[in-house]
Structure formats: structure tokens, C-alpha cells
Structure 1
């Protein structure tokens, strides 16, 4: 029954489906429905200007959908969006290269270091309290440190 209705409406059914998919993209954003809608409209226009059988219409719609979505995903993957806050949600990366003074000694390769309003776990060679260290890396929430030479 649905296929009979689609074939009786011809290409207009595809155009309507395409417009509905484009409208749904406004409600459910994500980028995929746009390309399904475009594929539907192109399929409808193709079947309006050139008589195409219903199986080929579905094949054209499916193929166009896959090509358009794959192309969009490939374009998005290679695109980087510049930001004015590159270290947002990467607090440990903000601290790389900073020099600080140990509040507590590093014992058995681990200790704690206060930076700003946060106390960080640190890992590095055993050092006494008051020694200066440089942050050289991070492993999760633990900062890797090395001693800073006094000279």
C-alpha cells in the first residue's frame, strides 16, 4: 500500500520526504538528516524529469545518502576549529613547563604539590620539601616532575 502510494505520487513523494527530513534536522540536530533530505530531494527531482522505476529510485536515494554522509564526515574529520581556550578541560596540559616549590617531600617517587587552588599528585625522583621542580608531563591526574638545577 505504501509502495503504491509512493509510485502514484511519483517524484513528488521524494521531494516531500526530503523536505520533511530537512525540517526534522531543525528539531533533531546532528547533521545526518540534512544529507538524507538532500538525497530525497535530488531523487525526487531526478524521477520528475526522467521516468525511473521505484527500485532504482530507492537505490539512487540510498547511494546518494551514503555518498553525501560519507563526504560530510570526511570533511568534518579533517577540519579543526580554532579556539581561544585550547586547554579548556585539560588543566594538566596548562601546567607543562611551570616551575614550583615542593610543599612536601617526594618519597618513593610520589608526593603532592600545591598549584593555585589545587593540590596535585606528583611523581618524580625523591626530593626534599622546598626543592624546586619543573612539570614535564601528566599521566591522568598525576603530574610528572623533574628537579630544577640551582645553577
Structure 2
């Protein structure tokens, strides 16, 4: 009898809890969420083994079915959560300002100027406008904000 077989025999149903904790530990060490679902399945099988005491073949079958089902459901859930969260304009800071209105502190001349937004000074392009004019950010052109006069 090998070391693993003797450990499983000695631990009985608790071997499923050990397997579940080892798999959850691997989840911490490895990227992704693969081992999470297998670890949770092993813990559920451990509970079933403690309560009902079925044969090891039935427990392995339950583990395999639970692992596949939880993996598929978990992946679908993670994809849905990932699509709901996040900032689509994270790498395009200027996109957050499209549609917002600001007042020019300095005139916009020869189609170029600067606009102070929060703690950043943005280069802007648009029609020639005097200081104090309300402008709306229409789009982004590279690192410049394209503005138009608010009517």
C-alpha cells in the first residue's frame, strides 16, 4: 500500500477536506479560478462522505460531476461579473470628459489652447473662442480634447 493510499484510508472522509484545502491553496498560488471550483467540489464531497458514507466510486463520481458543473457555472458567472465591472475609459482618461461642459479660462486661438480640468491641464482644439466661453468636449483626438461652443 502506498503512502497516499494509507493516508486516505487513515483519514477516511476527511481526505476530501484535505484535498479541498490543497486545491484551494493551489488557487492562491496559481492565476485564474480553475482550482477554486475543484476545491469547493472536494469540500462538498467531504460533507457527503461524512453524512452518508457511500463507496469511494460514488464519491469520485460525485466529485467529477460537481467539479465540471461548478466549473461551467463559475466561469459563466465570472465572465458576467467581469463584464459588469471595470472602467471602459481606464486607459483613455480624456474619454471621461466627452459630453461634459467647462468654461475657458484662457482664449482658444488659432484652433488650439489649454483647458484646466480638475488638477490637469489639457490641450484642446476647436474654433477660436474668447476666455469665459462655455465649451463642451465633443471627442478626443490623440491626446487633445476637441471642444465646441455651448449655445
TM range (shorter): 0.5 to 0.7
Q: Name the structure where helix makes up a greater proportion of residues.
A: 2
4+ aligned runs moved over 6 Å, structure 1: none
Length-normalised TM-score, structure 2: 0.58
State yes or no: 1:69 paired with 2:74. yes
How far the C-alpha of 1:76 sits from its partner, in A, is 3.0
SS at match of 1:121: strand
Structure 1 gap segments, 5+ residues each: 82-86
SS at match of 1:66: helix
State yes or no: 1:121 paired with 2:123. yes
Aligned match of 2:103 = 99
For 1:138 and 1:46, how far apart are their aligned partners in 2? 59
Q: CA offsets per residue over residues 6-46 of structure 1, 9 Å max, x none?
A: 86455432211213344566x65988355443211112333
The correspondence for 1:147, drawn from 141, 146, 149, is 149
Q: Aligned-residue CA RMSD in angstroms? A: 4.2
Over 3 Å counting, the alpha-carbon distance change for 1:97 and 1:80 in structure 2 is: same
Structure 2 gap segments, 5+ residues each: none
Q: CA offsets per residue over residues 90-138 of structure 1, 9 Å max, x none?
A: 466358211214444133xxx12131653322232x3155472412234
Equivalent residue runs for 1:2-151 within 5 Å = 4=5, 8=9, 11-22=13-24, 32=33, 34-48=36-50, 49=52, 50-53=54-57, 56-67=61-72, 69-70=74-75, 72-73=77-78, 76-77=81-82, 90=93, 93=96, 96-107=100-111, 111-115=112-116, 118-124=120-126, 126-127=127-128, 130=131, 132-139=133-140, 141-149=143-151
Q: CA offsets per residue over residues 23-78 of structure 1, 9 Å max, x none?
A: 566x6598835544321111233345222417525523521441452364256347
For 2:70 and 2:6, how far apart are their aligned partners in 1? 22
Length-normalised TM-score, structure 1: 0.58
Give the total of aligned pairs: 138
For 1:5 and 1:142, how far apart are their aligned partners in 2? 69
For 1:23 and 1:112, how far apart are their aligned partners in 2? 55
